Chains A and B, each alone.
Chain A
């Protein structure tokens, strides 16, 4: 159809045009078409293709490409490495999201108050978040190095530890070191989101609370926190979904070791897909990741929905 026709269809029925009602019905869909096509090609198609690959034994190395039904998922179900990585990813997501939300909230409350150089402090706070994660990872690699790292040096100088702690080379510490690095990096992001949320709370409510004799703690607990909850949940959702895909920190700091103790789903998936070129099995891991993320998002959404409903 020509542009002119579309234009006239938008403008309304024209004298002599066949059936004006049909164009009225089709036009909105035609206008949606470009958006739909672009979404379909960059989002729907890759997801469906990935899903399809997960039912095949496609591998560039063996040159196989056959449909094997749920074969990959059966393997996945009994794959220790997968469940190992799954638990690490869940632990990482839960702990880092929680820590970043609490710390971020504290920082947001601080930065909300008026004080000298507030603008400078607000800007400086964003520096860790603005750095590329690979750079952060390398930096933390040297900071937490067991022998020549600054952290051990400082802790030893302060008399807190006697012997060097093996931060990255020990199964007991490695995952926590990575979580620490992530908290350092991403807390500013949470603080920023929550700060924006704090600004949306009407000042009059807080003034009213003060007039009623509420102290800061009570104002926070009964006024600010409930008003901030939707922001908290949405920020938490963003953070959790992002944390779930953690890759660069692990890849640079430990490579998944020692003894698989920091392997996460993204690093395992990268190794399977790009190192061993097993596209079929790798896609099954991707699909499992996708489903786990969908569950996490669903959990947050139900909570948020309930909350908003109760508020009404």
Chain B
């Protein structure tokens, strides 16, 4: 945490310094202009003309920052060509997801073309597409261009057969494990849930750790993520493939949720407290060395390697989450995507900016300078990434199995119903009954 913060403050100072330099330069040029009046006038008219020549578009995005800011990347675009000028509008950070969502909805609902380009959480794509706010991008990004991204991401960006968003950055659920403990026990990194539960139970019984496996069961969005992962890894799904009916009552889904219930009540590899834990409470025991396995997002790795916050430095490994026999590992897809406002008046400029922003070169900049994982597998093989962000490079395998949450314009409502249903099932243990009831609730939401 402290490393992260010091990184941020360093970034802020750097930015402030560059701003100061810029205003200094501006001041100097102004002074020069006033000394030579004629020259000054000329200069101002020529720069005015240049600005007018450029197509002005706006870009609204949630705030991400590390060594650099999004504004600096946008500046780089403005300097790279002379036709388009992008104005960046900063929205709150993704931790204030509800506020970012509101800000975007209020803007887009006006249909006045502002902002031209925006970034969106992966779960809003269908909503924005369904409302007709997002421009379909198929003609600009044909199948060959789409094949350059992780397939799960393109699925998430596709609504009713149309590509309405373009992948920007990705995160996903992953399995953190204790390398030292597995080695000492002579165990391999588990690939199935059953193996994981067995190793976890043994380590717990042997007194090596207090908890075998930690996950997030708080009645919140993160519970939907944890559930999507187990269900998809058992070949199940929340909604049918057309997105019109619920399939969360299926046997695969029930079996998968039963596994989570059993971690608390049968195999007892997880404490009952996971039912009130979201990311941070579940992360703490793990980085304190009290747990063998943890399901969480990529941010945990940085903390685990920070000696001031972690007692397991260099003892933590990361792997794709396990799966059920006959299933495939699934990582709940997080991250942000680009979208183009359907009522933009500068479509060509918007698409050109989008193409630049999503290009391998820019993605590499986002990865190295902002620590945001690329959505193109090819970027993971870049030598610069291997040098600057070696951990990120190892995540390629995790994101290959990225699985979207249910794709529906009414996602927010569906998610609330799921949170309630999953939580009830995990508390009562009557998974079948609760998931069936949730399925009919979701059917009612989708039917109206």
**Could you tell me which A residues sit within 8 Å of B by CB distance?**
60-63, 81, 145-148, 164, 166, 168-171, 174, 254-261, 271, 274-278
The 15 listed contacts between A and B (C-beta, < 8 Å) are A60-B109, A61-B131, A61-B410, A62-B410, A146-B273, A147-B271, A164-B273, A168-B273, A169-B277, A254-B219, A255-B218, A257-B219, A257-B220, A257-B423, A277-B105
* Residue from B105, B218, B284 within 8 A of A254 (CB atoms): B218
Query: Per-residue CB proximity of B392-432 to A under 8 Å, as 1/0?
Result: 00000000000000000110110010011001101110000
Q: Chain A interface mostly helix, strand, loop or mixed?
A: loop
Between B210, B217, B409, B416, the greatest number of chain A beta carbons within 10 A of the residue's beta carbon is seen for: B416
* Residue from B272, B416, B420, B424 within 8 A of A275 (CB atoms): B416
**Min C-beta distance of A150 to chain B, whole Å:** 14
Q: Which of B124-158 contact A (CB under 8 A)?
A: 127, 130-131
Contacts of A61 in B (CB 8 A): 105, 127, 130-131, 409-410, 412
Given contacts A60-B105, A257-B219, A276-B412, contact A170 B272 (CB under 8 A): yes
Q: Is the CB of A259 within 8 A of B109?
A: no
In whole angstroms, how far apart are the Cα atoms of A164 and B271 in the complex?
Answer: 10
Q: Is the CB of B273 within 8 A of A63?
A: no
Q: Is the CB of B420 within 8 A of A260?
A: yes
Contacts of A148 in B (CB 8 A): 284-285
Contacts of A259 in B (CB 8 A): 219, 420, 423-424, 426-428
**Min C-beta distance of B14 to chain A, whole Å:** 31
Q: Is the CB of B276 within 8 A of A258?
A: yes
Q: Is B46 an interface residue (CB 8 A)?
A: no
**Min C-beta distance of B203 to chain A, whole Å:** 17
Contacts of B102 in A (CB 8 A): 274, 277
Q: Is the CB of B416 within 8 A of A271?
A: yes
Contacts of B105 in A (CB 8 A): 60-61, 277
Contacts of A261 in B (CB 8 A): 427
In whole angstroms, how far apart are the Cα atoms of A164 and B272 in the complex?
Answer: 10
Chain B: which residue is nearest A256 at the CB level? Answer: B219
Question: How many CB-defined contacts (below 8 Å) exist between A and B?
Answer: 98
Q: Is the CB of B217 within 8 A of A275?
A: no
Q: Is B275 an interface residue (CB 8 A)?
A: yes
Chain B: which residue is nearest A64 at the CB level? Answer: B448
Between B218, B278, B409, B428, the greatest number of chain A beta carbons within 10 A of the residue's beta carbon is seen for: B218
Q: Is the CB of A146 within 8 A of B276?
A: yes
Q: Is the CB of A62 within 8 A of B271?
A: no
**Top 5 nearest A-B pairs by Cβ distance?**
A257-B219, A169-B276, A146-B273, A169-B275, A168-B276
Contacts of A254 in B (CB 8 A): 218-219, 276
In whole angstroms, how far apart are the Cα atoms of A271 and B221 in the complex?
Answer: 12
Chain A: which residue is nearest B102 at the CB level? Answer: A274
Q: Which of B277-296 contact A (CB under 8 A)?
A: 277-278, 281, 284-285
Chain B: which residue is nearest A271 at the CB level? Answer: B416
Chain A: which residue is nearest B428 at the CB level? Answer: A259
Chain A: which residue is nearest B223 at the CB level? Answer: A257
Contacts of B420 in A (CB 8 A): 81, 259-260
Given contacts A61-B131, A63-B109, A170-B272, contact A147 B218 (CB under 8 A): no
Chain A: which residue is nearest B275 at the CB level? Answer: A169
- 18 additional A-B residue pairs with CB within 8 Å, beyond A166-B275, A171-B427, A259-B426: A60-B106, A61-B409, A145-B281, A146-B272, A147-B210, A166-B271, A168-B273, A254-B218, A256-B219, A257-B219, A257-B275, A257-B419, A258-B219, A258-B426, A259-B427, A259-B428, A276-B412, A276-B413
* Residue from B275, B285, B410, B412 within 8 A of A170 (CB atoms): B275
Query: Per-residue CB proximity of B173-206 to A under 8 Å, as 1/0?
Result: 0000000000000000000000000000000000
**Min C-beta distance of A250 to chain B, whole Å:** 11
Q: Is the CB of B409 within 8 A of A62?
A: yes
Contacts of B427 in A (CB 8 A): 170-171, 258-259, 261
**Min C-beta distance of B214 to chain A, whole Å:** 10
Q: Is B385 an interface residue (CB 8 A)?
A: no
Contacts of B277 in A (CB 8 A): 169
